[in-house]
Structure formats: C-alpha cells, structure tokens
Amino acid sequence: MAPVLELKGVEAAYGKAKALHGIDLRVEPGEVVALLGANGAGKTTTFRVISGLMRPSAGEVRFDGASIAGCSADAVLRAGLAHCPEERHVWPEMTVEENLRLGAYLVSQRIEIERRMERIYLRFPRLKERRRQSAGTLSGGEQQMLAIGRALMSAPRLLLLDEPSLGLSPRMAKEVLAVIRELQGQGITVLLVEQNVHNALSVASRAYVFETGRVVAENTSQALLDSPDLLKAYLGG
C-alpha cells in the first residue's frame, strides 16, 4: 500500500534563511506519526509546507500519490488534508457552532454539514453544551477541542495536529491524547507535532526526530523510548 503522505528531499527557506534541509518522511494509511524536536527544529515549517501555507524551494510532497508541492492551502484541504495549527487560532468573537461551520465551508449540502456537526458534538459533548457560547470564553482545553473539531468538519483523510497539548493542564492533555487514539481507531491518519515527547510517543506508532531542519533519527515509538540517550541528545531530556 502506498503512503498517504510522502516527502522527499524537501527544502524550504524564510528569505535567505534556510529552514528545511532535505526532509524525507512518510506516513502510512491509518498511522499516527510524530515529529519531535526542540523549538526551531523545523517541525512547524514542515507542516506549513505540507498544508500549502508555504512553498518548498526543492523536493517533492505527495498526498495519496499526487504531488501537492506548491499547491494552495485551499487545494490541499480539498484533496483531504486538514491542518490544525499551533495555538488553536479559533475565532474568539464567533460562537462554537459558527467556528465549526467554518470548517465545512467546502461542503454545499446543508444536511451533510448538520450530520458532521452532530458527529463532532458526539465526540466533544462539551462543545455541544457551549455551542452558543463565544469561542474566546472557552478554556484552553475546550478551545483545542474546538480547533480539532473544526478541522474534522472537512472530513479529512489526513489530519495535521501542531502542538495539541500546548498550554493545557495534564488532565486536558490526557483528554486530547484520547481523542487522537479515537481518531486512529476510526481510520483517520494523523501527523503530530508535540513538544511533550512521552505524550507523543504514547499515541504514535513511529516518530521522526528533527534538528536544525534535518531528520536525524526515525524509529518506532518503543525503540525511541528505549533510547533515552538519543532523546536527551536531540531533545534535551
């Protein structure tokens, strides 16, 4: 079976500052794969290239076998790849329900939008309780659930999650990790950036370790957990 996502030799730069130096990675259908690394290692830049927010300067990005390198973010979303960015970025003045509906802006049939909305409310009951509430008044954990729910409204085959537990209490972080496991159980492939290494490796089957825009290690989560010296060398602990 072909990978759902494959990067080969991907390079990217911010002006003259090179951020990615030949990234190679793959994600198989149904996998949860984590990108690990210190701040500035190139993880979020890799997500931006994949989702069409940034054009690569070299290399290939393939989704479901088709090249998406340099495609617009809108075209990437239409292809079935959704990006849930770091720091959630909900629209604070809009209600929970209005935020969710924005995630389905590509869907024209009202009955399908309502069906997707109900699935989100079943997965996140607190969002249903607060559906008329302004998103800016939600807790950090609830905003993260809303951001994930909004991304899921597009019914993606691959979901990019950038730092989903950032700034959350341990209890809320545990809930978010449980959602990721549930998504995998429902056949949604997930590529995850997560600063908390043990959280990431508890849900991912494999992980790539980034350093200064390069992949310096790739292995199963268990193998990486069994290599504390490697993790300490590249991640500081």
Cα 174 to chain center, whole Å? 17
pLDDT band at 10 (very low <50, low <70, confident <90, very high): very high
Give residue-wise pLDDT tens across range 216-225.
999 999 999 9
Integer angstrom CA distances of residue 125 from 59, 61, 63, 130, 149:
42, 36, 32, 9, 11
Spatial distance between the Cα atoms of 34 and 202, rounded to a whole number of angstroms: 10
Of the candidates 148, 155, 191, which has an alpha carbon nearest to the alpha carbon of residue 31? 191
pLDDT band at 165 (very low <50, low <70, confident <90, very high): confident
CATH of 5-90+157-235, one of 3.20.20.70, 3.90.550.10, 3.40.50.300, 3.30.379.10: 3.40.50.300
- Average the pLDDT over each of 11-15, 23-27, 179-183 and give the range with the smallest value: 179-183
Spatial distance between the Cα atoms of 73 and 85, rounded to a whole number of angstroms: 13
pTM for this one?
A: 0.91
Q: Domain locations in the chain? A: 5-90+157-235
Give residue-wise pLDDT tens across range 64-87.
999 999 899 999 999 999 999 887
Spatial distance between the Cα atoms of 81 and 100, rounded to a whole number of angstroms: 17
Mean pLDDT, residues 41-56 taken together? 96
- Residue 179 confidence (pLDDT) above 80: yes
